[in-house]
Amino acid sequence: MSVLVVTGGGRGIGAATARAAAAASWDLCLGYRADRAAAEAVAADCAALGVQTAVVQADVAMEMDVIDLFVQAEELGPVRGLVNNAGIVTPRKTVAELESEDLEEVFGVNVFGAFFCAREAVRLMQRDGEGGAIVNVSSRAAVLGSPGEYVDYAASKAAVDALTTGLAKEVAGDGIRVNAVRPGLIETEIHASVGRPERLVELAPTVPLGRPGTADEVAGAIVWLLSPAASYVTGAFLDIGGGR
């Protein structure tokens, strides 16, 4: 079977995507940065569905970690898919308050990490000549700008969007599709990670569907974009924001 690499596969959208991809018969290589136990628990759920799994420590901001992640993924089988999911938000600041360390951190993970992973995946897919599919996890913030809280994050996700557009055209001739999802307000730990769990409640009334989304609701769209059902979709952006 074909191997799907999911970065940040231990929790939130990455974990939900891994489980949904296992249900669609993908073998899974789950990358994690810090929480091995969480990633192993997700891998166990996937293995229970009859697919092969591997769990690999990889900080996506570290180029050598990413290279090793794909070496280990290949040991499972041919890599035909990547979900560039790992991402961070830095604590709320205006642009006037940002330090260079904030920018290095958020761009290191969200932009350098996405580029390193996309590059390694494309190299393997081009070498094998069998095509593949990449889904980048962007954000509605790339379009909305997140003024007053996360403009640095929004700009990093706009870079992910440009990666999606450009790479899709570069590798279309190799049978590799590259798309992005732009989640809106999704119930995961990312909000608490920057001390703002209340954001989910505060912003819910601004969502036309009237509630935050779930990680499973994002995962379903990602797995569809990876699937043969999306065989004519590349360079596309799928907003999953409840209409916001």
Chain residues binding ligand NDP by CB under 6 A are: 7-8, 10-14, 31-35, 59-61, 85-88, 109, 137, 139, 183, 185-186, 188-190, 193
For residue 127, give Cα distances in angstroms to 66, 118, 132, 175, 222.
Answer: 18, 14, 11, 12, 24
Cβ closer to ligand NDP: 1 or 64?
64
CB 29 within 8 A of CB 4: yes
Closest distance between ligand NDP and the C-beta of residue 213, in Å? Answer: 8
Closest distance between ligand NDP and the C-beta of residue 242, in Å? Answer: 11
CB 102 within 8 A of CB 155: no
* Three-point CA angle 7, 8, 9, nearest 5°: 85
98 three-class SS:
coil
Two structure tokens written together for 196: 């703002």
Cβ closer to ligand NDP: 79 or 111?
111
- Rounded CA-CA distance 209/162 in Å is 28
Q: Give residue 146's region: left, alpha or beta (phi > 0; psi -120 to 50).
A: left
Residues sharing a CB contact under 8 Å with residue 244, sequence separation 6 or more, in sequence order: 140, 184, 185, 206, 207, 208
Closest distance between ligand NDP and the C-beta of residue 64, in Å? Answer: 13
Q: How many residues does the chain have?
A: 244
Cβ closer to ligand NDP: 76 or 117?
117
Please identify which of the residues 32, 150, 153, 232 carries the catalytic annotation: 153
Closest distance between ligand NDP and the C-beta of residue 167, in Å? Answer: 17
CB 168 within 8 A of CB 213: no
- Rounded CA-CA distance 18/117 in Å is 17
Active-site annotation holds for 32: no
Cβ closer to ligand NDP: 1 or 73?
73
Cβ closer to ligand NDP: 139 or 234?
139
Closest distance between ligand NDP and the C-beta of residue 182, in Å? Answer: 7
Cite the active site residues.
153
